[in-house]
Chain A
């Protein structure tokens, strides 16, 4: 619970630091991206503190490049 509170607090703090200046300059796209990244980060963080297993992006990379790696390894064995 403490971890989740900390994550939410950090996210709110970051938003409070940055958003007013961005709104003043009417940076709509920037604001959208800002919140998208912030919510993604907070979501991943909360999922982690609840010990939910998340998909590992390196597994996707391994699925793409692993076969090339194994091919080269076997050629140079």
Chain B
């Protein structure tokens, strides 16, 4: 990878991955678990998420010039490293299929009910392939360029909703005890923060390695704060009952906007924000998938696999579930898969690094370890 992204772009990429599809599909999950206390779940999730990001950043900085796949091979040895990388590739692929399906489900149920879902998947996979062909640098710059639009739209969205806020919706506080809140915070930690593990593949592209940690934390916090705000607004404006029953609470939220019976039907603002963040997130995933495949298989160039991969995504996003309700079952186990590839993988890498360093210190007689650096 001879692409270069700035620290600021890296931070914004982290924000995009954290907001991503979470903006639309996440809010109903903690609200379903913790009802009006879901904003506390979101706070707990944000705190736990920042710890996850700290861990990811620590694992990423072991070898700032290597991607996750290369670092795994370096630390765990060739074959275990390759096995881990292959699992990571499968995880990335599942995630991209799921993102594509989310876009398709959303557009066909809410905005374009007569369009076949395949048409939307084909177009989406098409632009993903295009983004991957143009490279990570282009994706990062696109994200940087559009972020100001995103912020303006988000500010407008929040401003227009302020008149509809009912503080009573937050009461009673903590009525169900702590358990439902913790239950809700698991997904809130997993979807925005644990999926940031993909950015460990982008670390070698960052210009200043010493700035990675600060930018990673800052971007993730920004993204997490946006998700927290959306959840809070969903409860404040819609109330926990309506928010639970709706598949897309933030979209229902946008439909509520009505300023002086003049500003109405602004849900397209939300659709724009969601499609933007989700697209940048999937594009990063797609590019990272391509890099991961190339490095795992030891290819000479990572280019030219986009189109077959895009075609596979189109077909794959249709077989992963028979309908939208069945698809939402995944929320019961998906967070644990995210956990495996972020928390557990980082811990394994850090442990392997510590063991290797201890072994090297004890005596450089060469205990059979492959030489590093």
Listed in ascending order, the chain A residues whose CB lies under 8 Å from chain B are 10-11, 14, 17-18, 21-22, 25, 27, 29-30, 33-34, 37-38, 40-42, 44-45, 48, 54, 56-58, 61-62, 64-66, 68-70, 72-73, 76-77
Contacts and interface: CB of A to CB of B under 8 A. Distances in A.
Contacts of B299: 27, 29-30, 33
B362 interface: no
B307 A56 contact: no
Contacts of B332: 66, 69-70, 73
Interface of B: 94, 179-180, 182-183, 186, 293, 297-301, 304-305, 307-309, 311-312, 314-316, 318-321, 329-330, 332-337, 340
Residue with the highest number of chain B CB atoms closer than 10 Å, among A10, A27, A34, A76: A76
24 contacts: A10-B311, A11-B311, A17-B307, A18-B307, A22-B304, A25-B301, A27-B299, A27-B304, A29-B298, A30-B299, A30-B300, A37-B309, A41-B314, A41-B315, A54-B319, A56-B319, A58-B321, A64-B333, A65-B337, A66-B333, A72-B183, A72-B336, A76-B179, A76-B180
A68 B338 CA distance: 13
Contacts of A45: 311, 314-315
Q: Is the interface of A mostly helix, strand, loop or mixed?
A: helix
Contact of A48 (B293, B301, B308, B319): B319
B293 A33 contact: yes
Contacts of A64: 333, 337
A70 B335 CA distance: 12
B304 A34 contact: yes
A29 B297 contact: yes
A14 B311 contact: yes
